[in-house]
Copies of this chain bind each other. A is one copy, B any other.
């Protein structure tokens, strides 16, 4: 396996660092629009693991918006797998470039949605991933695999859903992805500050798009933003967090391979963050359309959302000032394999102090990066295989979760996952 990693931002950087501890691939090309970022990642690996490990990595320059450029870099380096680790707006071009290069493809977010033109808050328009699934036959014909949505959410959440369906339930009422954290960022004086751990630009996009819900009888439908608020209790001390419906890939992926009456995604934004996003929307500050603003150099045109992003701390820089944990998981309800009612939460927790110490990577970013590396290893070793455009739930979940949980000393990733039986007792 020769991997072309596209993007050396937060997640791409962490993918390379996690892969540096593994032996399953022959070579990994770290590419970025700004080659200096790719070189920085490899320099970190060299400092941490020495020149022999770093020799398995090459830095390259790439333009993710150009399918021909992606194809050329992939061919130059003989890539067998293209790992997309950039913003979802580049999915179409990298997806096309990988197929043209005869490589397999993985991403962590799917092609973007477009709201229904007249009824956005009850009907779907173009759904997340629709563009990719529409090209399924091209990938099947070519005998190539596109494994889409293979981060933590989507990704690990979809693996959990498949595990629940295969091993825990005879009938599933709801597969509800639930994501929550207790992360706190402090300024130099120790005061708590507002600093989202993920790109505010993308968070606004996710949270203000109409959330999508799947029901077996109704199919996919949408709701207004922040619908169906629910207080969900997360494990390992994170506790109760207000969660709301958010547009996310799991809802589009799981029903394609798993039989469940209802599929949802709720994000534990918390009341404060929900109010902030509502306010930004109310004031038009979420807009990506440039407006005219006075400046010392005369009138300029800026998109309000870009100003919001520029005013906040860069999520890539807050790791050292952040404490707490983030939790990703699936809350599954229905009838257990023994015929009695069952309710479980399958989850994985990432602790920022640990990820910073081990990887110089903040925990939300690191948790996202962990999962595609595990998937690549299962593909490299032939445990997972397939052709066409497939989600993580199209594959057997057990070897994935076993490899993830097994201690590093025994060849695993040393990342245990948890299961809470919520109807127990």
Chain A residues with a Cβ under 8 A of chain B: 194, 275-276, 279-280, 282-285, 287, 290-297, 300-304, 306-308, 310-312
Contact = CB atoms under 8 A, between A and B. Distances in A.
23 contacts: A194-B282, A194-B283, A275-B275, A275-B279, A276-B279, A279-B279, A285-B285, A291-B307, A291-B310, A291-B311, A294-B302, A294-B306, A295-B300, A295-B301, A295-B302, A295-B306, A296-B301, A297-B301, A300-B302, A302-B302, A302-B307, A304-B307, A304-B311
Contact of A283 (B290, B301, B302, B308): B308
**Chain A interface helix/strand/loop/mixed:** mixed
Given A275-B279, A279-B276, A307-B304, A296 B290 contact: yes
Identical chains bound together, number? 2
A290 B295 contact: yes
A307 B279 contact: no
Contacts of A194: 282-283
B304 A283 contact: no
A282 B276 contact: yes
Given A279-B275, A300-B302, A311 B294 contact: no
Nearest to A284: B311
Contacts of A283: 194, 276, 308, 311-312
A298 to B, nearest CB: 10
Contacts of A285: 285, 307-308, 311
Contacts of A291: 307, 310-311
Contacts of A312: 283-284
Contacts of A275: 275, 279
Contacts of A296: 290, 301
A313 to B, nearest CB: 9
Most buried by B among A279, A287, A304, A308: A279
A208 B290 CA distance: 27
Contacts of A303: 295
